[in-house]
Structures are given as structure tokens and as C-alpha cells.
Structure 1
Amino acid sequence: MNKDNYIYPAVFDYAEDGISISFPDLPGCFSCAGSDEAAYFMARDAMRGWLLVAEEYGDEIAAPTPLKDVILEANQRAVLIDVNLAFYREAYKNRAVKKTLTIPAWLNDLAEKENVNFSFVLQTALKEHLNV
């Protein structure tokens, strides 16, 4: 079962050209920004995306490292980032997915002549076929 609320430490690495963002507990979860405020929002967005994909693929999601245990360099600061996935999980599941299909030319011509919305018809037919 997936949980809705997550809080993880992010490391903000300050350089002349901006802030690099990483998460010690979320391998490959990175972002960057030009200000602290932007870094906070970019960190939340990156973390949210990482967690949604991890859930989708059944990847293990590590427990967060306590903030006091995050090892930092002189130009770095640890920041707690929180996300609630409930809203985003539903939006992620309902995102549009492009499919390519083949139908007879005569059927395509007739449907186009009648201004048929192909996506709507396919969705309706799939729901009916799958009893959802």
C-alpha cells in the first residue's frame, strides 16, 4: 500500500551559477534552481515525480535519513521537503497516453465524415469491454 505523505531531506548545493538539488535517499533524484524559493519548489516537483515512478514500478522507497545525520560540505544546506501524493497520484494515473492503432480505410473515412472523436469512442469502447 502506498502512503500519501513523504518528508525527505534534500541537499541544496550552492554555487555561483545556482543551486543544485539532490536527495541522499532517492537515487537519481536531482534538480536545480536559481534561488532558495525556486529550489524548494523544484525539489518538491523532482521528489514527487521520483516517488510516483517508484510506486508505479514497485521500487523500494527507502526510509528518510534524519536531518541531523545528513553529511554536508561547506557550500551545502539540508532542507526538509514534504509532498502529499494523493492528488498527484490520481492526476498521474489519469494522464493521457498516446496509442497508435490501425482501422480499415473505409471505416476511417466514414468516421471522419461524421466528425467522430476517435479518442472518446475508443475510451468508451474500452470501458465497456473491461466493465469499468
Structure 2
Amino acid sequence: MKKPERYVYPAVFTYEEGQEIAVVFPDLDAATSGKNDEDALFSARELLGCVMAGLEEDGEDIPVPTSLAKVPWEANERVVLIDVYMPSIRMARVNRSVNRTVTLPAWLNAAAQEKNINFSQVLQDGLKQRLSL
């Protein structure tokens, strides 16, 4: 089954005097916050991308978004539709870095450090060569 390019979910922005703007996705049981509207929007979009990528990766069911008109809200709240473009999120997850611990002789470590060699880059280059990539 083809994964959708874009997800759109309602989020409830809550405004309290002297506090960050709280953002809750009722359909996803996820929340974040922001210093102002723009920051809250960016945080919401980033969270939506992370949550949806995680659900896809784990093979879990994707919840159906609640209609904007059916999301309950209070006087100090606003319901906003948040969208996320998934191809870029998926690509970023494919290209994310992971940490690996390597063991090498102390003399080799010292010689490499003396020459300011970037261990990560050398390992990446070596693996690409070994794997013919």
C-alpha cells in the first residue's frame, strides 16, 4: 500500500497568560508547545511528522483525523489544521546518523588523532568502498 505524501490533522492551540502556547493533537495523543504562534506551528508540524513517521515505521494503524468542526475547544483555544509533507520526513529518517562504537589499537588511535583524522568520515568512506556504494 502506498503511503500518503501528506497528512493533515487538527491541533488545539491553548493560550494561557504568561505561558507557552500548548499544542495538542487529540487524534494522536501527542502534544508540544511554542513561544509564539509561529514557533507553536513549527513545533506542531515537526511533532506531526515524527509521530506519523513512527506509526508508519512500526506498521501501526494511522488514525482517521477528526473533522475540524467536531474538535471540542474552549474560549482560550483555537483549532488549527496542521499538515506535514512526508517524503522529506521519510528521507531525513533514512539519512539520519547512528552512533557505533569501534575498537582499534591505541597506537592507531593516537596516530590518527595526531593527523586530525575524522574517524566517522574514514569509516563511512571505508564502508562505502567495501560495499561498492
TM-score in terms of structure 1 length: 0.80
- Per the TM alignment, residue 61 of structure 1 is displaced from its structure 2 partner at its CA by 2.1
Q: Which residue of 2 aligns with 1:90?
A: 91
- Listed one character per residue, the Cα deviations across residues 84-119 of structure 1 (whole Å, up to 9, x for unaligned) are 021232123222222221112233234334543321
Q: Which residue of 1 aligns with 2:101?
A: 100
Q: Which residue of 2 aligns with 1:63?
A: 64
- Per the TM alignment, residue 78 of structure 1 is displaced from its structure 2 partner at its CA by 1.2
Q: Which residue of 2 aligns with 1:23?
A: 25
- Listed one character per residue, the Cα deviations across residues 68-88 of structure 1 (whole Å, up to 9, x for unaligned) are 121223332211011102123
Moved over 6 A (4+): none
Separation in 1, partners of 2:38, 2:112: 50
User: In the alignment, residue 22 of structure 1 is paired with which amino acid?
Assistant: V
Separation in 1, partners of 2:113, 2:20: 51
- Listed one character per residue, the Cα deviations across residues 6-62 of structure 1 (whole Å, up to 9, x for unaligned) are 1100011222224211001112x2111243333222211221222223333333321
Separation in 2, partners of 1:54, 1:125: 34
Distance 1:118 1:64, change over 3 A: same
- Per the TM alignment, residue 131 of structure 1 is displaced from its structure 2 partner at its CA by 4.4
Give the total of aligned pairs: 131
Give ranges in structure 2 of 5+ residues lacking alignment.
none
Distance 1:110 1:34, change over 3 A: closer
Separation in 2, partners of 1:128, 1:52: 30
